[in-house]
Chain A
Amino acid sequence: MFPKKRERVEAEVPQAGMADIAFLLLIFFLVVTTIDVDTGIGMQLPPPPDPDQEPPPIRERNLMNILVNAQGMILINEEPANLQDVQRLVMDFVDNENRAQDPNLAEDPRSAIVSIKTDRQTPYEIYIDMLDEVIGAYRELRNEAAHREFGVSYMEYTNRVPREDNVIRQMYPQNISLAEPDPGS
């Protein structure tokens, strides 16, 4: 009845432009992406103090008091010090057990506490410099311990073991206390 008029034309979407669209999107995401990683000094804050509970007693020899005033002057256990010496002083204090065994310094690294206190007017920059030195001291100590015990650098050691099994971390816990700043002058 109805004679075939013509062959059916196959519907086709042109695909030549697809690569161009993909390129365009690619370039957009390339431009938008920031590959840079955030870097900084990681810290763990303590929970807020419980008013009903007395703070645990600390033996005086286990506490290293670092005071930094608004001019960047440093007092360590009431004695003035230079920023360059801080790392060495902290290492001597924390690792006293394996070093000088001075009766005035910490009993062992686990009970050693480094307390950093600033004035309210102290610039952030100076505080970070101070914190950097203290963290540097702990890093150095952990590195030494890793070389002594396992013969590898601390960084390599942390890559090998999970965080819970990290004995060096337990050996030298970073007990850094950030005291509330003085109102200052």
Chain B
Amino acid sequence: MSKFQKKQAKTKQQVPTAAMPDIIFMLLIFFMVVTVLREVELQVRVDFTRAENIEKIEQKRLVSYIYIGPEILGGGRYGDTRVQIDDALIDDIHAIRRLMYDKLMEEPRLIVSLRVDEKSEMGIVSDVQQELREAGTYRINYSTLRGSTAPMSE
């Protein structure tokens, strides 16, 4: 009996760790490629609305965002509904035309994602859409979450 046991005890029980940095580097490179660092500071409140029949935007790099919602004043107070593109609030709605046209020239396959607060009124959304038509950015996407809407509270 003891003869067998001695023979087995001699094997080394170690996992080789030499390749570990390579694996870590591979993961690192994956995440570096996937990460999109550009994220803007929101100056308007955007509570997404919900919808059932939605699609995914696969190419995130083609997307440009327009935020529409009540301006955040701080202290839990909100101002009038404003439009934000990139990091700036838009004062003159007709400025959107030139802004979006410049973006379209940079990326001809541009998709404009409209991130609109659920309580916003259609008037301003429609004004922005008219500007987008003038700019020539016809592909738009109304950003919504998946799910059915809660019954209307009124």
A interface residues with partner B (beta carbon < 8 Å): 18-19, 22-23, 25-26, 29-30, 32-35, 37-48, 71-72, 118-129, 131-132, 135-136, 139, 178, 180-181
The residue that B122 contacts in the complex, of A19, A41, A181, with Cβ under 8 A, is A181
Q: What 0/1 pattern do residues 112 to 134 of B give for CB contact below 8 A with A?
A: 01001111111101100110111
The residue that A19 contacts in the complex, of B20, B32, B129, B139, with Cβ under 8 A, is B20
Query: Are A43's CB and B120's CB within 8 A?
Result: no
B contact residues around A45 at 8 Å (CB): 129, 132-133, 137-140
Query: Are B125's CB and A124's CB within 8 A?
Result: yes
The docked-state distance in angstroms from the alpha carbon of A118 to that of B126 is 10
Q: Does B92 contact A (CB under 8 A)?
A: no
B contact residues around A25 at 8 Å (CB): 28
Q: How far is the CB of A105 from chain B (nearest CB, A)?
A: 22
Closest to A178 in B: B129
Chain B: interface secondary structure?
mixed
User: Size range of the interface on B?
Assistant: 35 or more
The docked-state distance in angstroms from the alpha carbon of A122 to that of B117 is 13
The residue that B143 contacts in the complex, of A30, A32, A40, with Cβ under 8 A, is A40
Q: How far is the CB of B117 from chain A (nearest CB, A)?
A: 7
Residue pairs across A and B with Cβ atoms less than 8 A apart, 20 shown, are A26-B28, A38-B141, A40-B113, A42-B57, A43-B141, A45-B132, A45-B133, A45-B137, A46-B138, A121-B121, A124-B49, A124-B118, A124-B122, A125-B119, A126-B152, A127-B122, A128-B142, A129-B49, A129-B51, A129-B149
The docked-state distance in angstroms from the alpha carbon of A135 to that of B117 is 21
The residue that B133 contacts in the complex, of A29, A48, A128, with Cβ under 8 A, is A48
Query: Are A41's CB and B54's CB within 8 A?
Result: yes
